[in-house]
Amino acid sequence: MILIKNGTVIDGTGNPRKQQDILIREDVIAAIGNLKNQKADQVIDAKGLTVTPGFIDINTDSDHYLSIFSDPHQDNFLLQGVTTIIGGHSGSSLAPLVRGNLKSIRKWADINTVNVNWSTVEELFENLQRVKLGINFGTLVGHLTIRRGLIEEENRHLTKHELAAFQDLLKQSLKEGAFGFSTGLRYNHAKHAPYEEIIALTQIVAKHGGLYATHLRDERAGIAEAVDEVLGYARETGVKTLITHFRALKGFENEFEEAYEHIENAAKEIQINFDGYPFDYSIIPLYTLLAEEHRGGNLETMCERIADQDLQNEIMNTFPKITGGDVIIAQAQGFDYLVGKTIGEFASTNEITIKSAILKLMNITKLRAVLFRKNINLKKTIGALFSENGYIASNSPSRVGQKSVINNERAATTFSTFLEMVIQKTDPVIGTLQSHHTLEWAIRKITGKPADLLGIKKRGYLKEGNFADIAILKNEAARHVFVNGAWLVKDREINTEILPGRIIKK
């Protein structure tokens, strides 16, 4: 048994903090209260520290980048106090696999680094339980994963029989424990999915009480219309809905404010939420810099197009306006020496223009590169995140552990940055916070609320009988972290000898 004594407990409900002790027996919270006479094998004196539930990151990319395998402890998340992560976003998940491959995530990772020995969600879970994880992992079902599995690289509507097969796979995956369904409406395959297809699938998710999470079809001039499309699915089916990585892109702030207003108004009638992060850069696959007219087909088709010298000037003329320091090469499979360089530095080294440098990078990497792009209006984005309908999420993988990938602060500091804003009660970007933005409010936003949204049982709250996922904080930084009762982070050091994380299911 482990006793945490004298801590300031914030339990995830939003209720005022209390000076309490917590007793951990095996993997659960056995008691909370005044336990000064309680005996225990180990005792932590948490005087001056804040004891909270482990944080829940509802939108991560550790499955997309396959770091769920290369970094089983998920170090970046643990050291913030995150004990549960959710994958399967933007239409891509690790299961179910119709054809036994991970093509839907190849824009993010080298899919040849993992031996795929599963097809269903249940088999994926069994595999991860054998591999073992440091934190808890749950997943959504990816629309693109199934769609591409059914019709491969064809860009068309599904037939009646294909849609029925899709519905069966979705039902099976939800029964096997997936928390819901995701779409990446901006990506190539999803663009060809009609409204009726998404409705037919989200109806199933609604019947199972799952979550529908979506990457918007347009985040620029048409963001309000893209939000209205998603609101249409939510209104017609009643499905709980989450708009992922909702942010104000530079140059489109007015359109973002209109879209945000649509969400806030709709939230009075239906369950519509969004997530985001307090940083000014996006993580984007390189191919998304191509204009719509040059983005059709699969990755190989796009590579053939950009290699065509007769088309190259036309393609470059459609690139967005980019300054040399606003784009950093974050990942470039096979080109480690480029990682961390700005596109301006790459252009200067090759003595070419910025647009020529983008095209050259596309060609040498075969479009398998990922960029950091400083394209977010931080003030408006953070202002929205402080809404009651906003959730905090990294939308990032933990440490990928490869030279061909640069680490980023979204992975390492999303939650600590958010908490720092709340603790200081002021932020250089958004100014003074409102009086109700207390630490209790903030902790609920990253623990109890996401647990409720997803339907995660016995996590997200410090309560007797709940699993002992606990973070002990000094200011905004996690000093100690428990996962399922195991003392995994001790004085900021991870115990690499244990992997106590579990697969969590709906």
Predicted local confidence at residue 191, as pLDDT: 81
> In angstroms, rounded to a whole number, what is the distance separating the alpha carbons of residues 46 and 23?
13
- SS3 sequence of 72-118: CCCHHHHCCCEEEEEECCCCCCCCCCCCCCCHHHCCCCCHHHCCCCC
Predicted local confidence at residue 110, as pLDDT: 84
Find out whether 164 and 235 touch, Cβ atoms under 8 Å: no
pLDDT tens for the chain, 506 residues long, are 999 999 999 999 999 999 999 999 999 999 999 998 999 999 999 999 999 999 999 999 999 989 999 999 999 999 999 999 999 999 999 999 999 889 888 888 889 889 999 999 999 999 999 999 999 999 999 999 999 999 998 889 999 999 999 999 999 999 999 999 999 998 877 888 999 999 999 999 999 999 999 999 999 999 999 999 999 999 999 999 999 999 999 999 999 999 999 999 999 999 999 999 999 999 888 999 999 889 877 888 899 999 999 999 999 999 998 999 999 998 887 898 998 899 999 999 999 999 999 999 999 999 989 899 999 999 999 999 999 999 999 999 987 655 546 667 898 999 999 999 999 886 667 777 888 999 999 999 999 999 999 999 999 999 999 999 999 999 899 999 999 999 999 999 999 999 999 999 99
β-pairing, 369-373 with 282-285? antiparallel
Predicted local confidence at residue 401, as pLDDT: 59
Predicted local confidence at residue 121, as pLDDT: 98
| Sign of the dihedral through C-alpha 59, 61, 63, 64 | positive
Find out whether 255 and 377 touch, Cβ atoms under 8 Å: no
Segment (H or E) for 373: strand 369-373
Find out whether 101 and 118 touch, Cβ atoms under 8 Å: no
User: What secondary structure does DSSP assign to 301-347, as a single string?
Assistant: HHHHHHH-HHHHHHHHHTSPP--TTSEEEEEETT-GGGTT-BHHHHH
| Sign of the dihedral through C-alpha 369, 375, 379, 380 | negative
How would you list the strands of the sheet with 282-285, edge to edge? 282-285, 369-373, 327-332
In Å, how far are 37, 80, 440 from 34, measured between CA atoms?
8, 27, 21
Report the candidate in 264, 229, 222, 282 with the shortest Cα–Cα distance to residue 384.
Answer: 264
Could you check whether the bond before residue 16 is cis, i.e. omega within 30 degrees of 0?
no
Q: Which domains does the chain have, with CATH numbers?
A: 2-53+460-494 (2.30.40.10), 55-280+376-424 (3.20.20.140), 285-373 (no CATH)
Structure tokens given for 379: 């003030």
Report the candidate in 399, 405, 403, 412 with the shortest Cα–Cα distance to residue 330.
Answer: 405
> In angstroms, rounded to a whole number, what is the distance separating the alpha carbons of residues 103 and 99?
10
> In angstroms, rounded to a whole number, what is the distance separating the alpha carbons of residues 26 and 228?
47
Predicted local confidence at residue 334, as pLDDT: 83
Question: Phi, psi (5° rounding) for residue 152?
Answer: 55, -125
β-pairing, 477-483 with 431-432? unpaired
Report the candidate in 493, 441, 444, 447 with the shortest Cα–Cα distance to residue 470.
Answer: 447
